[in-house]
Amino acid sequence: ASRWSHYIKEKKVGEGTYAVVYSGWAIPTPAQKLEHELATDDTGERDEVARDKKILTGVALVCEPDGRRKIAIKKFKIGEYKDGMDKSAIREVKVLQELKHPNVIELIDVFSYKTNLNAVLEFLDCDLEVIIKNKNVAFSAADIKSWMLMTLRGVRHCHANFILHRDLKPNNLLLSKDGELKLGDFGMARDYGDPHRKMTSMVVTRWYRSPELLLGAVRYGYAVDMWAVGCIFAELMLRVPFMPGDSDIGQLQTIFRALGTPTEADWPGMKYLPDYHAFEQFPRNPLRNLFTAASPDALALMESMLLYDPLKRPTAHDALNHFYFRNQPRPTPPAKLPRDV
Ligand code: ADP
Protein backbone atom coordinates (compact mmCIF):
# COMPACT_ATOMS: atom_id res chain seq x y z
CA ALA A 1 0.00 0.00 0.00
CA SER A 2 1.28 3.44 -0.90
CA ARG A 3 1.74 6.20 1.62
CA TRP A 4 0.43 8.63 -0.92
CA SER A 5 -3.15 9.18 -2.03
CA HIS A 6 -2.16 11.14 -5.12
CA TYR A 7 0.42 13.43 -6.68
CA ILE A 8 0.08 17.06 -7.67
CA LYS A 9 2.11 18.37 -10.58
CA GLU A 10 3.28 21.92 -10.07
CA LYS A 11 5.50 23.12 -12.90
CA LYS A 12 8.03 21.98 -15.44
CA VAL A 13 11.54 22.19 -13.99
CA GLY A 14 13.63 20.61 -16.68
CA GLU A 15 13.83 18.63 -19.83
CA GLY A 16 16.29 15.84 -20.48
CA THR A 17 17.09 13.83 -23.56
CA TYR A 18 14.08 11.57 -23.25
CA ALA A 19 12.06 12.94 -20.36
CA VAL A 20 10.33 16.04 -19.07
CA VAL A 21 10.65 16.72 -15.35
CA TYR A 22 8.02 18.48 -13.21
CA SER A 23 8.12 19.52 -9.59
CA GLY A 24 5.15 18.58 -7.46
CA TRP A 25 3.81 17.20 -4.22
CA ALA A 26 2.96 13.79 -2.91
CA ILE A 27 -0.22 14.05 -0.86
CA PRO A 28 -0.40 11.60 2.04
CA THR A 29 -3.24 9.13 2.59
CA PRO A 30 -5.24 9.80 5.79
CA ALA A 31 -3.36 6.96 7.52
CA GLN A 32 -0.01 8.34 6.45
CA LYS A 33 -1.00 11.85 7.51
CA LEU A 34 -1.88 10.57 10.97
CA GLU A 35 1.39 8.69 11.18
CA HIS A 36 3.24 11.80 10.14
CA GLU A 37 1.48 13.88 12.77
CA LEU A 38 2.40 11.34 15.42
CA ALA A 39 5.96 11.18 14.22
CA THR A 40 6.43 14.93 14.22
CA ASP A 41 4.57 15.57 17.45
CA ASP A 42 7.37 16.40 19.82
CA THR A 43 5.20 17.28 22.80
CA GLY A 44 4.23 15.46 25.94
CA GLU A 45 4.26 11.74 26.44
CA ARG A 46 4.29 10.94 22.75
CA ASP A 47 7.93 12.03 22.65
CA GLU A 48 9.50 8.64 22.74
CA VAL A 49 7.11 7.11 20.25
CA ALA A 50 7.72 10.11 18.02
CA ARG A 51 11.45 9.70 18.07
CA ASP A 52 11.22 5.98 17.30
CA LYS A 53 8.79 6.58 14.50
CA LYS A 54 10.95 9.26 12.97
CA ILE A 55 13.88 6.92 12.95
CA LEU A 56 11.79 3.98 11.78
CA THR A 57 10.02 5.62 8.88
CA GLY A 58 12.58 8.29 8.09
CA VAL A 59 9.85 9.84 6.04
CA ALA A 60 8.78 12.36 8.65
CA LEU A 61 12.13 14.05 8.25
CA VAL A 62 11.70 14.79 4.56
CA CYS A 63 8.06 15.91 4.65
CA GLU A 64 6.44 19.28 5.17
CA PRO A 65 4.70 19.93 8.51
CA ASP A 66 1.39 18.93 6.92
CA GLY A 67 2.78 15.58 5.70
CA ARG A 68 3.17 16.48 2.04
CA ARG A 69 6.44 15.61 0.35
CA LYS A 70 8.13 17.57 -2.40
CA ILE A 71 8.69 15.36 -5.45
CA ALA A 72 9.92 15.40 -9.01
CA ILE A 73 7.80 13.66 -11.63
CA LYS A 74 9.89 12.44 -14.52
CA LYS A 75 7.68 11.80 -17.52
CA PHE A 76 9.35 9.57 -20.09
CA LYS A 77 8.14 10.11 -23.60
CA ILE A 78 7.57 6.47 -24.43
CA GLY A 79 6.99 5.75 -28.09
CA GLU A 80 7.91 9.23 -29.20
CA TYR A 81 11.51 8.30 -29.85
CA LYS A 82 13.55 5.45 -31.17
CA ASP A 83 13.37 2.11 -29.36
CA GLY A 84 16.63 2.83 -27.56
CA MET A 85 15.03 5.68 -25.65
CA ASP A 86 12.21 3.53 -24.33
CA LYS A 87 14.73 1.00 -23.20
CA SER A 88 16.75 3.53 -21.26
CA ALA A 89 13.59 4.84 -19.54
CA ILE A 90 12.60 1.37 -18.43
CA ARG A 91 16.18 0.60 -17.46
CA GLU A 92 16.39 3.72 -15.30
CA VAL A 93 13.17 2.81 -13.48
CA LYS A 94 14.18 -0.83 -13.06
CA VAL A 95 17.57 0.09 -11.70
CA LEU A 96 16.15 2.58 -9.21
CA GLN A 97 13.61 0.04 -7.99
CA GLU A 98 16.48 -2.22 -7.02
CA LEU A 99 18.69 0.43 -5.50
CA LYS A 100 17.47 1.71 -2.16
CA HIS A 101 20.23 3.55 -0.34
CA PRO A 102 20.69 6.90 1.43
CA ASN A 103 23.19 7.91 -1.27
CA VAL A 104 21.07 6.98 -4.27
CA ILE A 105 18.11 9.09 -5.41
CA GLU A 106 14.88 7.60 -4.10
CA LEU A 107 12.28 6.31 -6.53
CA ILE A 108 9.04 6.92 -4.64
CA ASP A 109 6.62 5.45 -7.15
CA VAL A 110 6.05 4.60 -10.80
CA PHE A 111 2.81 4.97 -12.73
CA SER A 112 1.67 5.16 -16.29
CA TYR A 113 -0.74 7.68 -17.67
CA LYS A 114 -1.94 7.54 -21.26
CA THR A 115 1.15 6.29 -23.09
CA ASN A 116 3.70 7.78 -20.71
CA LEU A 117 5.78 6.17 -18.04
CA ASN A 118 6.11 8.43 -14.99
CA ALA A 119 8.72 8.08 -12.26
CA VAL A 120 8.07 9.83 -8.97
CA LEU A 121 11.42 10.81 -7.49
CA GLU A 122 12.51 12.67 -4.40
CA PHE A 123 13.01 16.34 -5.27
CA LEU A 124 16.68 17.31 -5.40
CA ASP A 125 17.33 20.63 -7.04
CA CYS A 126 20.99 21.15 -6.25
CA ASP A 127 24.02 19.22 -7.42
CA LEU A 128 27.77 19.22 -6.99
CA GLU A 129 28.39 20.98 -10.30
CA VAL A 130 26.43 24.00 -9.08
CA ILE A 131 28.51 24.10 -5.89
CA ILE A 132 31.84 23.66 -7.70
CA LYS A 133 31.02 26.42 -10.19
CA ASN A 134 29.70 28.91 -7.67
CA LYS A 135 32.77 30.90 -6.71
CA ASN A 136 30.90 32.43 -3.76
CA VAL A 137 30.92 29.03 -2.09
CA ALA A 138 34.10 28.18 -0.22
CA PHE A 139 34.79 24.61 0.77
CA SER A 140 37.43 22.77 2.75
CA ALA A 141 39.32 19.47 2.60
CA ALA A 142 36.83 18.11 5.17
CA ASP A 143 33.91 19.06 2.91
CA ILE A 144 35.52 17.31 -0.06
CA LYS A 145 36.07 14.22 2.08
CA SER A 146 32.40 14.19 3.03
CA TRP A 147 31.22 14.43 -0.59
CA MET A 148 33.69 11.71 -1.63
CA LEU A 149 32.50 9.48 1.20
CA MET A 150 28.85 9.81 0.19
CA THR A 151 29.66 9.37 -3.52
CA LEU A 152 31.67 6.21 -2.89
CA ARG A 153 28.97 4.78 -0.59
CA GLY A 154 26.41 5.27 -3.36
CA VAL A 155 28.76 3.75 -5.94
CA ARG A 156 29.58 0.79 -3.68
CA HIS A 157 25.86 0.12 -3.30
CA CYS A 158 25.36 0.16 -7.09
CA HIS A 159 28.29 -2.16 -7.69
CA ALA A 160 27.24 -4.52 -4.91
CA ASN A 161 23.97 -4.84 -6.83
CA PHE A 162 25.81 -5.46 -10.11
CA ILE A 163 24.85 -2.09 -11.52
CA LEU A 164 27.26 0.26 -13.26
CA HIS A 165 26.18 3.89 -13.23
CA ARG A 166 28.25 4.74 -16.32
CA ASP A 167 27.60 8.47 -16.21
CA LEU A 168 29.08 9.78 -12.98
CA LYS A 169 29.86 13.51 -13.06
CA PRO A 170 29.33 16.42 -10.66
CA ASN A 171 26.02 17.26 -12.35
CA ASN A 172 24.65 13.80 -11.48
CA LEU A 173 25.65 13.99 -7.82
CA LEU A 174 22.51 15.52 -6.37
CA LEU A 175 22.31 17.29 -3.04
CA SER A 176 19.39 17.31 -0.63
CA LYS A 177 18.41 20.18 1.64
CA ASP A 178 20.09 18.43 4.57
CA GLY A 179 23.35 18.06 2.65
CA GLU A 180 23.07 14.38 1.73
CA LEU A 181 24.63 13.52 -1.61
CA LYS A 182 22.73 11.10 -3.82
CA LEU A 183 23.62 9.54 -7.15
CA GLY A 184 21.07 10.53 -9.76
CA ASP A 185 20.34 10.10 -13.45
CA PHE A 186 20.54 6.36 -13.97
CA GLY A 187 19.61 6.66 -17.65
CA MET A 188 22.94 5.13 -18.66
CA ALA A 189 23.08 2.56 -15.89
CA ARG A 190 23.06 -1.11 -16.56
CA ASP A 191 23.59 -4.58 -15.25
CA TYR A 192 27.00 -6.05 -15.44
CA GLY A 193 26.14 -9.50 -14.18
CA ASP A 194 28.07 -11.09 -17.00
CA PRO A 195 31.51 -9.54 -17.30
CA HIS A 196 32.02 -11.18 -20.68
CA ARG A 197 28.98 -9.72 -22.32
CA LYS A 198 29.75 -6.98 -24.79
CA MET A 199 28.55 -3.48 -23.99
CA THR A 200 28.73 -0.20 -25.81
CA SER A 201 31.70 2.03 -25.07
CA MET A 202 29.75 5.16 -25.98
CA VAL A 203 28.94 5.92 -22.38
CA VAL A 204 29.98 8.45 -19.77
CA THR A 205 30.24 12.16 -20.47
CA ARG A 206 33.57 12.66 -22.24
CA TRP A 207 35.60 14.38 -19.49
CA TYR A 208 34.86 11.56 -17.04
CA ARG A 209 35.28 8.73 -19.55
CA SER A 210 37.96 6.17 -18.70
CA PRO A 211 40.83 5.31 -21.05
CA GLU A 212 39.50 1.79 -21.67
CA LEU A 213 36.18 3.23 -22.86
CA LEU A 214 38.02 5.76 -25.02
CA LEU A 215 39.96 2.87 -26.57
CA GLY A 216 36.71 1.14 -27.46
CA ALA A 217 36.65 -1.58 -24.80
CA VAL A 218 33.43 -3.57 -24.95
CA ARG A 219 34.18 -5.60 -21.86
CA TYR A 220 34.58 -3.29 -18.93
CA GLY A 221 33.44 -3.10 -15.36
CA TYR A 222 33.15 -1.14 -12.15
CA ALA A 223 36.51 0.54 -12.88
CA VAL A 224 34.84 2.91 -15.39
CA ASP A 225 32.83 4.39 -12.52
CA MET A 226 35.95 4.56 -10.35
CA TRP A 227 37.81 6.54 -13.01
CA ALA A 228 34.92 9.02 -13.10
CA VAL A 229 35.03 9.31 -9.30
CA GLY A 230 38.77 10.03 -9.56
CA CYS A 231 38.05 12.83 -12.04
CA ILE A 232 35.37 14.25 -9.73
CA PHE A 233 37.77 14.10 -6.77
CA ALA A 234 40.35 16.06 -8.80
CA GLU A 235 37.71 18.57 -9.87
CA LEU A 236 36.66 19.15 -6.26
CA MET A 237 40.25 20.08 -5.43
CA LEU A 238 40.88 22.20 -8.55
CA ARG A 239 37.38 23.68 -8.84
CA VAL A 240 37.62 23.28 -12.61
CA PRO A 241 37.26 20.05 -14.63
CA PHE A 242 40.57 18.18 -14.45
CA MET A 243 40.75 16.76 -18.00
CA PRO A 244 38.36 18.71 -20.24
CA GLY A 245 39.02 17.26 -23.68
CA ASP A 246 37.48 19.18 -26.56
CA SER A 247 36.48 16.13 -28.62
CA ASP A 248 36.25 12.37 -28.25
CA ILE A 249 39.57 12.00 -30.06
CA GLY A 250 41.12 14.81 -28.07
CA GLN A 251 40.04 13.36 -24.73
CA LEU A 252 42.67 10.62 -24.77
CA GLN A 253 45.35 13.21 -25.59
CA THR A 254 44.14 15.40 -22.75
CA ILE A 255 44.48 12.47 -20.35
CA PHE A 256 47.95 11.53 -21.64
CA ARG A 257 49.08 15.12 -21.37
CA ALA A 258 47.88 15.28 -17.75
CA LEU A 259 49.06 11.86 -16.57
CA GLY A 260 51.71 10.82 -19.11
CA THR A 261 51.24 8.35 -21.97
CA PRO A 262 50.87 4.85 -20.44
CA THR A 263 53.63 2.30 -20.98
CA GLU A 264 53.22 -1.44 -21.44
CA ALA A 265 54.13 -1.83 -17.76
CA ASP A 266 51.49 0.70 -16.65
CA TRP A 267 48.76 -1.07 -18.55
CA PRO A 268 49.43 -4.50 -19.98
CA GLY A 269 46.66 -5.35 -22.40
CA MET A 270 46.14 -1.80 -23.61
CA LYS A 271 47.38 -2.69 -27.09
CA TYR A 272 44.66 -5.32 -27.53
CA LEU A 273 41.87 -2.76 -27.28
CA PRO A 274 39.92 -2.09 -30.50
CA ASP A 275 40.96 1.54 -30.98
CA TYR A 276 44.58 1.20 -29.87
CA HIS A 277 47.22 2.81 -32.07
CA ALA A 278 50.61 4.46 -31.60
CA PHE A 279 50.14 7.49 -29.41
CA GLU A 280 52.07 10.67 -29.00
CA GLN A 281 54.38 10.27 -26.01
CA PHE A 282 53.84 12.58 -23.08
CA PRO A 283 56.07 12.37 -20.00
CA ARG A 284 54.67 11.16 -16.70
CA ASN A 285 53.64 14.13 -14.66
CA PRO A 286 53.66 13.94 -10.86
CA LEU A 287 50.14 14.98 -9.82
CA ARG A 288 51.72 16.59 -6.79
CA ASN A 289 52.83 19.47 -9.05
CA LEU A 290 49.27 20.29 -9.96
CA PHE A 291 47.54 19.43 -6.68
CA THR A 292 49.83 21.46 -4.48
CA ALA A 293 47.40 21.79 -1.58
CA ALA A 294 46.28 18.14 -1.48
CA SER A 295 47.23 16.04 1.52
CA PRO A 296 49.40 12.97 0.75
CA ASP A 297 46.56 10.55 1.55
CA ALA A 298 44.06 12.41 -0.67
CA LEU A 299 46.57 12.44 -3.51
CA ALA A 300 47.33 8.72 -3.08
CA LEU A 301 43.63 7.81 -3.27
CA MET A 302 43.03 10.05 -6.27
CA GLU A 303 46.07 8.64 -8.09
CA SER A 304 44.89 5.09 -7.50
CA MET A 305 41.49 5.83 -9.04
CA LEU A 306 43.22 7.37 -12.06
CA LEU A 307 45.47 4.38 -12.80
CA TYR A 308 45.46 3.41 -16.47
CA ASP A 309 45.01 -0.31 -15.91
CA PRO A 310 41.38 -0.79 -14.87
CA LEU A 311 42.39 -3.89 -12.91
CA LYS A 312 44.68 -1.79 -10.72
CA ARG A 313 42.04 0.77 -9.77
CA PRO A 314 40.48 0.24 -6.34
CA THR A 315 36.88 -0.91 -5.99
CA ALA A 316 34.51 1.48 -4.20
CA HIS A 317 34.84 -0.81 -1.21
CA ASP A 318 38.65 -0.57 -1.31
CA ALA A 319 38.47 3.20 -1.67
CA LEU A 320 36.20 3.50 1.38
CA ASN A 321 38.78 1.57 3.39
CA HIS A 322 41.58 3.89 2.28
CA PHE A 323 43.49 5.64 5.06
CA TYR A 324 42.31 8.95 3.60
CA PHE A 325 38.93 8.29 5.22
CA ARG A 326 40.46 7.39 8.58
CA ASN A 327 42.86 10.31 8.82
CA GLN A 328 42.16 13.88 9.86
CA PRO A 329 40.32 15.98 8.99
CA ARG A 330 37.08 14.16 9.74
CA PRO A 331 34.51 14.46 6.94
CA THR A 332 32.08 17.33 7.49
CA PRO A 333 28.65 16.14 8.69
CA PRO A 334 26.21 16.53 5.75
CA ALA A 335 24.06 19.12 7.56
CA LYS A 336 27.10 21.36 7.92
CA LEU A 337 28.29 21.19 4.32
CA PRO A 338 28.35 24.41 2.30
CA ARG A 339 25.26 25.03 0.19
CA ASP A 340 24.49 27.02 -2.88
CA VAL A 341 24.05 30.73 -2.14
P1 ADP B 1 19.29 14.84 -18.20
O2 ADP B 1 19.56 16.30 -18.41
O3 ADP B 1 20.48 14.08 -17.74
O4 ADP B 1 18.56 14.17 -19.32
P5 ADP B 1 16.95 14.46 -16.55
O6 ADP B 1 16.13 14.08 -17.72
O7 ADP B 1 17.07 13.46 -15.45
O8 ADP B 1 18.40 14.87 -16.92
O9 ADP B 1 16.40 15.80 -15.94
C10 ADP B 1 16.30 17.01 -16.63
C11 ADP B 1 16.28 18.17 -15.65
O12 ADP B 1 15.19 18.07 -14.74
C13 ADP B 1 17.52 18.23 -14.76
O14 ADP B 1 18.54 18.96 -15.36
C15 ADP B 1 16.99 18.91 -13.51
O16 ADP B 1 16.98 20.32 -13.66
C17 ADP B 1 15.57 18.45 -13.42
N18 ADP B 1 15.44 17.30 -12.50
C19 ADP B 1 15.60 15.99 -12.82
N20 ADP B 1 15.42 15.18 -11.75
C21 ADP B 1 15.12 16.00 -10.72
C22 ADP B 1 14.82 15.78 -9.31
N23 ADP B 1 14.80 14.55 -8.80
N24 ADP B 1 14.56 16.85 -8.55
C25 ADP B 1 14.59 18.10 -9.08
N26 ADP B 1 14.87 18.38 -10.36
C27 ADP B 1 15.13 17.35 -11.20
The pLDDT of residue 38: 79
Q: Is the pLDDT of residue 145 over 60?
A: yes
In angstroms, the CA 219 to CA 213 distance is 9
- Which of residues 92 and 201 earns the better pLDDT score? 92
ipTM higher than 0.90? yes
The pLDDT of residue 48: 59
Atom 19 of ligand 1, nearest CA residue: 21
Phi, psi of 21 (to 5 degrees): -115, 130
Which protein residues touch ligand 1 with a CB less than 6 Å away?
13-17, 19, 21, 72, 74, 121, 123-125, 185
Atom 7 of ligand 1, nearest CA residue: 185
Q: What letter does residue 246 receive in the DSSP assignment?
A: S
The pLDDT of residue 72: 97
Atom 17 of ligand 1, nearest CA residue: 14
Q: Which of 47, 52, 109, 167 is catalytic?
A: 167
Q: Lowest mean pLDDT: which of 23-27, 55-59, 260-264?
A: 55-59
Contact at 8 Å (CB) between 36 and 83? no
- Report the separation in Å between the CA atom of 278 and the middle of ligand 1, taken as the mean of its atom positions: 40
Contact at 8 Å (CB) between 290 and 260? no
Q: Could you give the residue ranges of the DSSP H alpha helices within the chain?
A: 30-40, 47-57, 59-62, 83-98, 128-133, 141-160, 211-214, 223-238, 248-259, 296-305, 316-320
Q: Is the pLDDT of residue 192 over 70?
A: no
Ligand 1 atom nearest the C-alpha of 172 is: 3
- Ligand 1: residue of 7, 9, 10, 13 to mutate (most ligand atoms within 8 A of CB) is 13
The pLDDT of residue 144: 98
Is 167 in the active site?
yes
- Report the separation in Å between the CA atom of 264 and the middle of ligand 1, taken as the mean of its atom positions: 42
- Average pLDDT across the chain, whole number: 89
Give the pLDDT confidence of 193-233 residue by residue, as tens digits.
Answer: 555 566 666 656 899 999 999 999 999 999 999 999 999 99
Give the pLDDT confidence of 97-131 residue by residue, as tens digits.
Answer: 999 999 999 999 999 888 889 999 999 989 999 99
- Report the separation in Å between the CA atom of 213 and the middle of ligand 1, taken as the mean of its atom positions: 25
Atom 15 of ligand 1, nearest CA residue: 14
| 276 sits in which H/E element | none
Residues 240-253: what's their mean pLDDT? Answer: 93
- Which of residues 295 and 55 earns the better pLDDT score? 295
- Report the separation in Å between the CA atom of 312 and the middle of ligand 1, taken as the mean of its atom positions: 34
Contact at 8 Å (CB) between 154 and 105? no
Q: Lowest mean pLDDT: which of 16-30, 51-65, 109-123?
A: 51-65
Q: The whole model's pTM is what?
A: 0.91
Q: Is the pLDDT of residue 43 over 70?
A: no
- Ligand 1: residue of 21, 78, 176 to mutate (most ligand atoms within 8 A of CB) is 21
- Report the separation in Å between the CA atom of 313 and the middle of ligand 1, taken as the mean of its atom positions: 30
Question: Where residue 91 falls among pLDDT bands split at 50, 70, 90?
Answer: confident
Contact at 8 Å (CB) between 15 and 76? no
